[in-house]
Structure 1
């Protein structure tokens, strides 16, 4: 059991810190490219807005531009497997089910082969909240075949899975905001008081600033979080662990 890793992961203070820890550890097993995605907005009809996804990657910018920004992942076979299942799955699943893939899925498989993304494992994480969905793709370094990866997983798969699961759970407790959507300290404070049930007048008295300034902070917070109402802003900021969090 990788107790030393778990101890360091749960003591991490930022998403970046624990992500670096995971990437360095998995590189020792032969996985040199990782892609993690997390949404709290999954419904029957979709995954929510792409701007609200938590995406972490060690792939090249060339790969992520096509796969993420151009949304090839929607037709990636292992992505769709992760939406329907939880646990860990060998990428040999793609070859075994290749005849049943759609034309678009086969195009994504061809793109991955072109980019050297050919052997690996996918983990889809279990979550108690039905709207949460997270997955991690582990790509093996060049020179390793899928047979090599499957043999490695037979030896070390359990401990790798445990480390990835702990990392995911730590991610869910740490503040994370998509680029350009971080709240200022004042915006956070105002939303926290709203979350505590305080009125604009209450907050004005507590913080010693005018009601107009309170309204300005709330408006800017709504804009930063891309929501229409203050109630939605409080909920979304809470989901992102931006509220009531120790700063620094």
Structure 2
């Protein structure tokens, strides 16, 4: 039963809280290492700049450094599956590809890394998105010692609840504020200035509303662009909006 989980996730007010609740729940099913990724900047040929993606994981840092940091994920067969599909997929698909000899050298390199790091049994869930440029997915790695047939048996019994829980995580995470890709967090002033400009106010309007001079408004906009690692104010507004940074209640 996942009733308690659903209540906890509904009440979570931060990505950190939601992730802690979720990893604990997945561990109950035998999945002790998770890798979640979401981007709003994908294209037909790419998942977009990794810097602009939201990535959550509790994998060993040594694995993350290579699989994510060195771009090995781009060679992974399950990532290729995610870009073309939605729903849940057993990693038995990978074993079938190996047995049939339908693997490229790049795919084999990624799979050899996974085997070395004991990332060998699990499931991947690719989430349905309303935007063609957005893509979210999560890889659920089974506890060391579990075989893929054992994981498939777990899924046969609990897969519906597991998939529902992961969909809830995804829906929760994408509506919570985060700071992926930022050099540093926006200050309250920087965010407020961006909010007024996003509402169509001019720099002079914003200065009057906030009781500041236009030069100070320009400074806050420049610092916001630097924090968000973008070149224009329009890009800063888009990025802050996509990260749910606007109209936050200060704690």
2:229 aligned with 1:218:
no
Match for residue 146 of structure 2 among 118, 139, 144: 144
Q: Is the 8 A contact 2:183 2:228 kept in 1?
A: no
Structure 2-normalised TM-score?
0.96
What corresponds to 2:25 in structure 1? 25
Deviation of 1:246 (Å)? 2.3
CA RMSD of aligned residues (A): 1.1
User: What does the per-residue CA deviation read over 1:104-141, in whole Å, with 9 as the maximum and x for residues that have no partner?
Assistant: 10111011001000000000010111111011000011
2:235 aligned with 1:232:
yes
Closer, same or farther in 2 for the Cα pair 1:79/1:225, shift >3 Å? same
Matches for 1:169-248 after TM superposition, within 5 Å: 169-178=171-180, 180-248=183-251
User: What does the per-residue CA deviation read over 1:169-226, in whole Å, with 9 as the maximum and x for residues that have no partner?
Assistant: 0011100112634211111000000111111111111111111110011011111112
2:63 aligned with 1:60:
no
2:120 aligned with 1:103:
no
1:25 alignment partner, SS class: helix
Q: Is the 8 A contact 2:183 2:229 kept in 1?
A: no
Structure 1-normalised TM-score?
0.97
2:89 alignment partner, SS class: strand
What corresponds to 2:40 in structure 1? 40
Q: Is the 8 A contact 2:183 2:226 kept in 1?
A: no
Distance in 2, matches of 1:89 and 1:21, equals 23
2:121 aligned with 1:119:
yes
Deviation of 1:44 (Å)? 1.4
What corresponds to 2:49 in structure 1? 49
2:137 aligned with 1:153:
no
User: What does the per-residue CA deviation read over 1:3-54, in whole Å, with 9 as the maximum and x for residues that have no partner?
Assistant: 2211211211100000000000111111110001110001113122211110
User: What does the per-residue CA deviation read over 1:48-87, in whole Å, with 9 as the maximum and x for residues that have no partner?
Assistant: 2211110111001100000000010000111111111000
